[in-house]
Amino acid sequence: MYNVIIVRIDNLVWLGLIIVILAFSCKSSTEVEPLPSPPVQQSVANIAEKHELDYDISQWKEIINTNGPLLDIRYATDNNFTKAQIYDCARCFLRPELALKINTIHSDIKKKYGYGLKLFDCYRPRPAQQKLWDIVPNAMYVTPPKKGSMHNKGLAIDLTIVDNKGVELDMGTEYDFFGKEAHRTYVHPDPVVRKNRKLLKLLMEAHGLTGIRTEWWHYSLKTVSYDFSDWVWNCD
């Protein structure tokens, strides 16, 4: 009789132990630290969406790198003739009419030759023009802020052509080279350079853009009118 009771008590003790162990194992499994969630990938679409929200779309259009021209906004780096960074970040804004033309030219040249456009400078806020002038107060190289540049209106663009690998076509000089070799009328000894410059000129002029005498890379749209602007884009 006592033996039977002892055996049952033993069984109950074992049963209790098993329940306690199970309970702890369940508890500990629920307390496992959750794995850190993977970093949120900011998609290009998100960036574009974010940027579209932070400027006045009735006044400006942003040229986005994705499927569009390459951006090499030199004044957002110190890789420019002033050796100083002028813009806080690299973004390319143009007045909508000019932006439409640039995107069209880029698509056309891509379809026809497999080439593309590369943009060095777009809209340049007047405070940035002042900054350039403060560093290089020489009207031969920088338009005086009081006079104002077509860039300050968002109606000028500095650009070149790139091949299907994104390599710049040889235009004979670097961007922002100040010398007669950069002049539009300069006859470069290399026929390839002459051909490349002619292609850029023909493309731009076919879309109603006009160049200036001293810079092969600069074109502007003079068929629309906008005021000079002090607006500076967001870099957050």
Least separation in angstroms between CB 169 and Zn ion: 18
Least separation in angstroms between CB 103 and Zn ion: 19
Least separation in angstroms between CB 38 and Zn ion: 43
Least separation in angstroms between CB 210 and Zn ion: 12
**List of residues contacting Zn ion (CB under 5 A):** 158, 218
Of 103 and 160, CB closest to Zn ion: 160
Tell me the C-alpha distance between 66 and 71, whole Å: 10
Of 62 and 158, CB closest to Zn ion: 158
**Measured at CB, which residue is nearest to Zn ion?**
218
Least separation in angstroms between CB 166 and Zn ion: 21
Of 122 and 162, CB closest to Zn ion: 122
Of 112 and 147, CB closest to Zn ion: 147
Go through 159-183 and write b for each residue having 16 or more CB atoms within 10 A of its CB, e for each that does not: bbbbeeeeeebebbbebbeeeeebe
Of 106 and 218, CB closest to Zn ion: 218
